[in-house]
Amino acid sequence: MNLVTPRSSLQPVAVQGLPAGFRWGVATSSYQIEGAAGEDGRTPSIWDTFCRVPGAVHNGEHGDVACDHYHRMPQDVELIAGLGVDTYRFSLAWPRIQPGGRGPANAKGLDFYKRLVDELQDKGVTPWITLYHWDLPQELEDAGGWPARDTAYRFADYAMLAHEALGDRVEHWTTLNEPWCSAMLGYAYGAHAPGRTDMRDAMGAVHHLLLGHGLAARRMREAAGDNPLELGITLNLGTATPETDSEADREACRRADGMGTRLYLDPIVHGRYPEDVVRDLADQGIELPVQNGDLEAVATPLDVLGVNFYRGALFSGVTEDGSPTDTDGLPVVRGVERDLPRTAMDWEITPGELTDLLVRLQRDYALPTVITENGAAFDDTLAADGSVPDSDRTAYLADHIAAVSEARAQGADVRGYFAWSLMDNFEWAYGYDKRFGIVRVDYDTQERTLKDSAKWYRDTIRLTRNVHQD
């Protein structure tokens, strides 16, 4: 199933097959929207530093102001409530809550999030907190970053500061957002902060991110006692389809799935790293830095798995000239481009593969899931009448929500869908060049404008809810 919704029939309709308690939400992250980078005690994160590296970010842009959400938060919550969503997923800025990544909490930083929670609850919107969305305090990176074991313990301490301050009013907590991105883009490929390029460091980061998750989850469980707590982690997941049925292509998919999915979910759910991936790493002279008791902590029971989905992928096990190995003598894992519609990120649009992924996750891991991010960047512009037509994005949302419904029909326990993103924002290494929002942001004036996709999403939620009320 590719883009199947005709642009001429993008009228909102009730989504079939979703339960009455299905969650509808929007999502953001702290560094991408907050701004106020040097205010009220916040210290630099690795992204503040990375943005100053020449050539690291499009046009040398940064999140110093971003969407100025720190100062415009009440109006933004009003906007969220007006969309009719019941849940808002946002992340806390670690260097705002615990400057430097050590020591006591910063009262002014916590006060901002307390006010945000109050505003949301006053408007009938449930807060869903993500503890870590990539803004590691720079001081912890200077001490070794995620490849250093101590960072896992620092994360658990920070998680407890946040939970102690907000846990009496917030039930839904996600520990990490997309540890694959933190580890691989940050430490192996250098495309994200902190910009390091060492596979051994990246694998150390993988393990210590998961250890930090487990330590934090264990301590939060103990602290919550009998109080409500829905605890999860969010992974960016896709599908790995072989280009042909050849052994080389199937092997490439095994490797891609191992490094992208099973390396995270196997220890989280089953308490072990996949043996084939451990062997693959050993062939490169890399060993995961596991110590006694680590995997028991990583496998602390979860209530929900957050799934961020943007695309599936087709893989080949040979180079374009037919070689089964690359220049380092390693087996080839090559993504193959398909003749499919694409977003402004040049990402293939593959909603049917979201259905496949969710059914596979149910089969192999049996955790309830929530789509914590799904959306698309397109080059939409403000029209003369003040509207923002974005039929491509509306069709994208329609097709992926339909894919969720189909996954439920096939037995997947999917309990919610959060659109990414609430508003246009700082898109990491792409700066402000790519717009994912269902709300347009004029970065010169900070004016917010509902795009057509936001109106469609609002009306779709309303009509779907009415089905259960009738």
* Residue entry with tokens 């670690």: 94
Return the bridge partners of 242, or none. 315
What's the rounded Cα separation, in Å, for the pair 418 and 425?
A: 16
Quick check: 240 and 256 in contact, CB under 8 A?
yes
What's the rounded Cα separation, in Å, for the pair 451 and 437?
A: 8
Quote the tokens at residue 315: 């893989």
Give ∠ CA 184-190-192 in degrees, rounded to 5: 80
| CA proximity to 188, closest of 206, 175, 176 | 206
Per residue in 312-338, is it b (16+ CB within 10 Å) or e — as a string? Answer: bbbbbbbeeeeeeeeeeeebbbbeeee
DSSP 146: T
Quote the tokens at residue 175: 């520990």
User: CA gyration radius for the chain?
Assistant: 21
Contacts of 118 (CB under 8 A, 6+ apart): none
What's the rounded Cα separation, in Å, for the pair 165 and 341?
A: 45
* Terminal-residue alpha carbon distance, the chain: 31
Edge-to-edge order in the sheet of strand 334-336: 240-242, 313-316, 334-336
Q: Is 178 known to be catalytic?
A: yes
Active-site hit among 34, 141, 178, 353: 178
Q: Is 373 known to be catalytic?
A: yes
Q: Give the residue ranges of DSSP H helices in 305-451.
A: 351-365, 391-409
Quote the tokens at residue 118: 């109050």
Quote the tokens at residue 119: 């505003």
Quote the tokens at residue 426: 């700082």
Residues marked active site are found at 178, 373
